[in-house]
Each structure stands twice: as structure tokens, then as C-alpha cells.
């Protein structure tokens, strides 16, 4: 099939490239000239394992091209995927201006041949209908069905997730569009749910909100465990073996970050409120998450008291999770801000997210070149992101580098008993 993908962010670039790998002809469009030029050279603006190889090989095979010319891409394609950003607006709603602007451009570019337009971006319920309206306002001859096929990929495993989805959700009431979209996705999985557009749009928000709920739930249990000396890891394991609960997304820690959960939870809350409904559970999920990263600060205060001037913290991990350089809504940023505000100095390290962090924090913190150098001469090690290289650190090395053997483990990657036996003052989250 011939596809145009508008927007070369995480969702657009990964899905466009993976559809090319499946044998489709794909034109990825972006309005940023330098980004398109970079991609043509095989340079990837984001860190995503396995993506570069696929971009390069599919360009070589002529199945994947990059362009700034949206009109030409639309004219050459049967299916047009919209994958531009929907960042959070001031009031928590999704900012839809990029999606609507693309809808206008698509409307202007269409002739009278039939096209399927697909919303891949996470969008409020009712968006597909609105996009169809915009296209038809611009072009009354447009033969178009606007559908919803939400994206569920995770950063850091986006390529793997795209090729091995748990399910594909297709929202459309058009038989013709359904046939084309089922044929496009069939090579990926047999689990294809076809439903109406509004339900499909809701599935995306509901899925993210449910996962966010699981995380806030286990974080709340962790905080209660802390008060009573129970171990949240043991609790999560004991709960997760119940098939109805499941073991995934029950890792207690510093709260969810990244480009999706915080934004999408806010957006579904806003969506509900706009309809006059108060989503109390989701508001609590957000509230627990807002507070969770400050557990670290409470531990630090518990150890040192409130007199923190002259002390230095070593922060390990800046990305919102491992295998990405993304620091959007990363707990590390909130924690660092608080530590600095309380008068502590901060030295930080991340395997790949330092450059992005420098753009936000500049020289308010010191950056180490590696773990050892970052630990050297600091008073407490705070583990914020569970990168594998941090999980595998030798406790003796940590002890030798720190001024005092104190570890605050925001992701519960070390064994409390072993750490305490090795002479550390050790605090996890809920254990």
C-alpha cells in the first residue's frame, strides 16, 4: 500500500518506518526542513533501539522517503496517517492546533480520489469527526473517511512494540476503510478490534489512564508499606500472581513521567470535566503521582535533617525511564529542583540524557562523565532511573566513592537487606 505519514516524532517515524519494513511504500512528512534532511542522511533525531538500521535499510530499498511536501505525499498515497503532537495546553486539555492545521492542509491537497485518513495521535473523543469536517470544509469534493487507529508503543521499545502489538484498534464506520486498515495491520497481529471512532479514541485514553492508575495504586501501597515496615516488592509479587491483577505496571517508584501518561491523564480528566462529570478516581491518580517523587526528598530530610547547605547529592538517571534520552516530565527534574531549593548541590549522570538535561537545567547542576566520577565526593547517591548499568553497580565501589555510604533507591533495584549488611544507610520506596 501507499502511505503518507504526517509528523516524524516518535509515533510517526516509528510507525512509518515499520510499515515500510512490511513492504509498503511510505512517505514521511515533516514541516521542519532540517529534520527531514537529517532523516534523509539516516540520522535519527530520537534515541530508539533498532530504529536507525530500519530507516537506513528501507531508504536504500526505496520504500521509505522523507519530504516536507505534504501535498505531494497526500496525492501519492491511499492512506494518510496523522501523527503530529497533541501537547498539553495550559488547562490540561490536549492542544489540537497541529492536528487541525494538518487536516486543513490535507483538505487543500486532496483531489476527488478516495483516501483514508487515520488519526494516530492521542486525541480527544470526537476528533476524527472534527478532522473530517475540516477536510470537507476545505474541499467539498474530498472522498475521504477519517478513522482512528491509536498507537500504544512505548519509548525505548517502540520498534519491538510496533511489530508485536498486543492488539490493534481500528475505529471506523466505513466498510471500505475498515478493509484497507485491516489489510494494512494484518501482518502485525490477528488481534484486531474494529469499533466506532469515538470508542476507539476512548480506548487510547482509557488504556493509558488505567496503566497510570496501576502505577499510582502501587505507589500508594508502597507509601503505606513504608509506614508499617512491609516490602512493596513482595506485596506486588503476591498481588500480581492473581491473573485478574497481573504482574505488570506494579513497580513502585517515583511516579510515572514521560510524554504520555502525565499529559493523557490530564487530558481525560479535562474531557470528563468538560462534559460536566467529575472523574474523582483519575484526579486522585494524578494527585498521588504529583506527590510521589517527593518521597525522595522526605528520605533525604530524614537522613540529614533540614540543614542541607554544603551537602552534595549524586543523581543517577535523568531520563524518565531507561533506554530513552527523553526527559519530558521526568521525575529527576522535579527532584533536582527541590534539592537545589533546599540548598544542596547536585552532580548528575545519565548514559544518554545529559545533553537534553543541559538544555533545561544548564549549569545549575554539575554533570559527571560516568558513574564513578559522578559519585566521587558526594554525600548521598539517589537512583532515579533504573538503567541496567546502575542496577549492576558494585556496592564496594559506591561506598569508596561516596563521602558517606548512603543510598536512596527511587526504583527499588537493590536489595535492602544486602545493602544494609554492606554498611549502607539505605532507603527504597515502600521497603
Active-site positions read: 260
Tell me the DSSP string of 186-223: TTT-S-EEEE-HHHHHHHHHHHHHHHHHHHHHHHHHHH
Question: In the set 153, 313, 353, 398, which binds ligand UDX (CB under 6 A)?
Answer: 153
Dihedral angle sign, alpha carbons of residues 294, 295, 297, 301 = positive
Nearer to ligand UDX, 172 or 251 (CB): 251
Give the shortest CB-99-to-ligand UDX separation in angstroms: 17
Q: How far apart are CA 315 and CA 319, in angstroms?
A: 11
Is the CB of residue 398 less than 8 Å from the CB of residue 405?
A: yes
Nearer to ligand UDX, 65 or 121 (CB): 121
Say how many residues touch ligand UDX, by CB under 6 A: 19
Q: At what angle do helices 51-60 and 10-21 cross, to 10 degrees?
A: 50
Residue (of 419, 423, 380, 422) closest to 431 by Cα position: 419
The contact mask relative to ligand UDX for 332-361 (x = CB under 6 A, - = no) is ------------------------------
Q: Is 215 in the site for ligand UDX (CB under 6 A)?
A: yes
Nearer to ligand UDX, 46 or 345 (CB): 46
Question: In the set 320, 390, 424, 426, which binds ligand UDX (CB under 6 A)?
Answer: 320
From 68-76, 153-161, 274-282, 366-374, span contacting ligand UDX (CB under 6 A) = 153-161
Nearer to ligand UDX, 138 or 154 (CB): 154
Q: Is 253 in the site for ligand UDX (CB under 6 A)?
A: yes
Residue 67 per-residue DSSP state: E
Using DSSP's 3-state secondary structure scheme, residue 407 falls into strand
Burial of 167 (0-12, 13-18, 19+ CB in 10 A): middle
Give the shortest CB-154-to-ligand UDX separation in angstroms: 4
From 21-29, 38-46, 174-182, 255-263, span contacting ligand UDX (CB under 6 A) = 255-263
Nearer to ligand UDX, 379 or 409 (CB): 409
- The gap from C-alpha 295 to its chain's centroid, in whole angstroms, comes to 22
The contact mask relative to ligand UDX for 15-54 (x = CB under 6 A, - = no) is ----------------------------------------
Cell (9 digits) for 12: 510517526
Is the CB of residue 67 less than 8 Å from the CB of residue 76?
A: no
Q: Is 261 in the site for ligand UDX (CB under 6 A)?
A: yes
Is the CB of residue 86 less than 8 Å from the CB of residue 95?
A: yes
Residue 89 per-residue DSSP state: P
Interface residues toward ligand UDX, by CB under 6 A: 151-155, 208, 211, 215, 249-251, 253, 256-258, 260-261, 320-321
Amino acid at each position: 500500500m501507499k502511505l503518507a505519514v504526517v509528523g516524524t516524532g516518535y509515533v510517526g517515524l516509528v510507525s512509518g518506518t515499520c510499515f515500510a519494513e512490511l513492504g509498503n511504500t511510505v512517505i514521511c512528512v515533516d514541516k521542519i526542513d532540517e529534520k527531514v534532511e537529517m532523516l534523509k542522511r539516516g540520522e535519527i533525531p530520537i534515541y530508539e533501539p533498532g530504529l536507525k538500521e530500519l530507516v537506513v535499510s528501507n531508504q536504500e530499498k526505496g520504500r521509505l522517503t522523507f519530504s516536507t511536501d505534504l501535498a505531494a505525499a497526500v496525492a501519492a498515497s491511499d492512506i494518510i496517517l496523522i501523527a503530529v503532537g497533541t501537547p498539553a495546553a495550559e488547562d490540561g486539555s490536549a492542544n489540537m492546533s497541529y492536528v487541525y492545521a494538518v487536516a486543513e492542509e490535507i483538505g487543500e491537497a486532496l483531489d476527488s480520489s478516495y483516501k483514508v485518513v487515520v488519526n494516530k495521535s492521542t486525541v480527544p473523543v470526537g476528533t476524527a469527526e472534527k478532522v473530517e469536517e475540516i477536510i470537507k470544509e476545505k474541499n467539498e469534493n474530498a472522498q475521504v473517511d477519517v478513522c482512528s487507529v491509536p498507537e500504544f508503543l512505548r519509548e525505548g521499545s517502540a520498534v519491538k512494540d510496533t511489530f508485536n502489538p498486543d492488539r490493534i484498534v481500528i475505529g471506523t464506520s466505513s466498510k471500505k476503510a475498515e478493509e484497507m486498515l485491516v489489510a494494512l495491520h494484518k501482518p502485525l497481529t490477528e488481534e484486531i478490534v474494529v469499533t466506532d471512532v469515538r470508542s476507539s479514541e476512548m480506548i487510547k485514553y482509557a488504556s493509558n489512564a488505567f496503566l497510570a492508575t496501576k502505577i499510582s495504586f502501587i505507589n500508594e501501597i508502597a507509601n503505606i508499606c513504608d509506614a508499617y515496615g512491609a516490602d512493596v516488592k513482595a506485596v506486588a509479587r503476591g498481588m500480581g500472581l492473581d491473573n485478574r491483577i497481573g504482574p505488570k505496571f506494579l513497580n513502585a517508584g517515583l511516579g510515572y513521567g514521560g510524554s504520555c501518561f502525565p499529559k493523557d491523564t490530564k487530558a481525560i480528566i479535562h474531557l470528563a470535566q468538560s462534559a460536566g462529570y467529575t472523574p474523582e478516581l483519575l484526579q486522585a491518580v494524578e494527585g498521588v503521582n504529583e506527590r510521589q517523587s517527593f518521597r525522595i526528598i522526605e528520605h533525604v530530610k530524614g537522613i540529614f535533617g533540614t540543614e542541607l547547605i554544603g551537602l552534595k547529592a549524586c543523581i543517577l538517571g535523568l531520563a524518565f525511564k531507561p533506554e530513552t534520552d527523553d526527559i519530558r516530565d521526568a521525575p529527576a527534574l522535579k527532584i533536582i529542583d527541590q534539592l537545589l531549593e533546599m540548598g544542596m548541590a547536585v552532580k548528575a549522570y545519565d548514559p544518554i540524557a545529559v545533553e537534553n538535561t543541559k538544555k533545561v537545567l544548564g549549569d545549575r547542576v554539575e554533570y559527571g562523565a560516568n558513574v564513578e566520577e559522578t559519585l566521587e565526593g558526594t554525600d548521598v547517591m539517589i537512583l532515579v532511573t533504573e538503567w541496567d548499568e546502575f542496577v549492576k553497580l558494585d556496592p564496594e565501589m559506591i561506598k569508596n566513592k561516596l563521602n558517606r555510604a548512603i543510598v536512596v533507591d527511587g526504583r527499588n533495584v537493590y536489595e535492602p537487606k544486602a545493602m544494609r549488611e554492606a554498611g549502607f544507610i539505605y532507603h527504597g520506596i515502600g521497603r
